[in-house]
Structure 1
Amino acid sequence: MNKRHLFLALSLFCFGFWSWTSAQESSSPPVEEKQIEESPDLSAEFSLLQEEVKKLRLAEEEESTKAVTPVQIQIPSINVDTAIEQVGVLDNGQMGVPVDENQVGWFEPGVKPGSKGNAVVAGHVDSKTGPAVFYELDQLKTGDDVTIIDENGNTLLFRVTKTENYDTKNAPIDEIFGATSNRNLNLITCSGTFGNGGYDQRFVVYTELVDSEIKSTVELDVPTNVTLSGNLLTWHAVRDDAVIGYRVYEVIDGSATRIESVPSHARKSVEVTNEQASYYVTAIDRLGNESAPSE
């Protein structure tokens, strides 16, 4: 899939009154351009044949039907039940924020909730008049539930996996917005001490989809008969039409590095050169699911 250019800076995640009343009057420093990949470009990685590319696109279309356009969020443990606005990137390169301090904003150019990747929802912690929608976000703990509802009343249930508090300059943009094979929803607000530049910290709640109707992981068979003869590594194909290729990893001192991607229609072998290393192979399906390592 194509990469998107997201213009993000952690200064944009401060949802206090001074940052959202007027984007044009914002005194935020210049934003940093980040290039975040939505998902692995499997057709490029594995040099797929035309028929395989067609199957890949059909699988991606089927995958997209599992996602929803969110209109409402419910977080029972902190009594949040509010509407969701769609926000994007402003003309000045900044991420949009919710107009209403009692609603939240979903970053629409990113991932839809329910699809693979990191969907992001942000809300104000306070406003000129007092506490706002995410004032108690820092009270969430592992195991708490977050429900997303679409315009048709369909619901997706997410569960908190962890919470983190970051200094503005050190928050991990890729972890919050970047590609992942999980179906995540990340909630953001500002925290810490308020000063001339706004709040100096960002609070992030990481959640993962637990809706039983959507299977988030796929168990692929592991490549077998992996053999190293001299400098030639060979293996047997996985008998599964969904498998589009294989990844070969080199292991040195316990650290694994991917060294080759082999399409399913190619010969199941690669030349390796490091006599001190060990190697394993994994299978990849059309949706980017990866099998366990070969033995």
Structure 2
Amino acid sequence: MSRSTPVSLAIPAINMSGSLIATGMTNDGRVQVPADYKQASWYQPGPAPGEKGSAVILGHVDNVAGPGVFIDLKKLKKGDTVDVKRADGKTAHFAVTDIQSYLKTDFPNQQVFGGRDQSQLQLVTCGGDFDAAARSYKSNVVVYSSLVSTT
């Protein structure tokens, strides 16, 4: 598929659907996450979902106000579907291939954001133990998926 801005995300297995915004990098060189814990974002410097390569969508698991957009992401299983509607009117359909949890200190940037020969989509959120002093989770949950069809 050619590049087209993703506009919405649906994950039927966890009853999640919503619009997408675009984010990039922070001034200090980190991947920007959405300010709103109920909003998922597409990492715009990378490929768009459906394009060749590793597209990435980020979202919060929760915050002090309650559950975030990706609260149930860790419940996904291999084979579950992830659908991304794009601005060109097409929908990219992905199937989950793996779910992993990584300590933030050992996050595999190249594996998640690196180039690929086929179209893949990674969904990223926080997880693992919560560090109350740092007010942050110690790990990230990454759902890996591959493009299976387009409509």
Tell me the TM-score normalized by structure 1: 0.49
Q: Which residue of 2 aligns with 1:114?
A: 50
Q: Which amino acid aligns with 1:206?
A: Y
**Cα RMSD (Å) of the superposition?**
1.4
Q: Which amino acid aligns with 1:75?
A: I
1:152 deviation in Å?
Answer: 4.1
Given candidates 145, 169, 188, the residue that maps to 2:81 is: 145
Q: Which amino acid aligns with 1:135?
A: I
1:161 deviation in Å?
Answer: 0.5
Q: Which residue of 1 aligns with 2:140?
A: 202
Larger strand percent: 2
Matched, 1:105 2:41: yes
Distance 1:212 1:107, change over 3 A: closer
Determine helix, strand or coil for the equivalent of 1:141.
Answer: coil
Q: How many residues are treated as equivalent by the alignment?
A: 149
Larger helix percent: 1
> What are structure 2's unaligned runs of at least 5 residues?
none
Distance 1:72 1:133 in 2: 13
Given candidates 81, 91, 96, the residue that maps to 1:155 is: 91
Q: Which residue of 1 aligns with 2:108?
A: 172
Q: Which amino acid aligns with 2:137?
A: Y
> What are structure 1's unaligned runs of at least 5 residues?
1-64, 214-295
Name the larger-Rg structure.
1
CA contact (8 A) 2:3 2:48 kept: yes
Determine helix, strand or coil for the equivalent of 1:176.
Answer: helix
Distance 1:117 1:152 in 2: 19
Tell me the TM-score normalized by structure 2: 0.93
Identity of aligned residues (%): 38
CA contact (8 A) 2:59 2:69 kept: yes
Q: Which amino acid aligns with 2:115?
A: A
Write out aligned runs for 1:2-81 (5 A): 66-81=2-17
Distance 2:150 2:128 in 1: 36
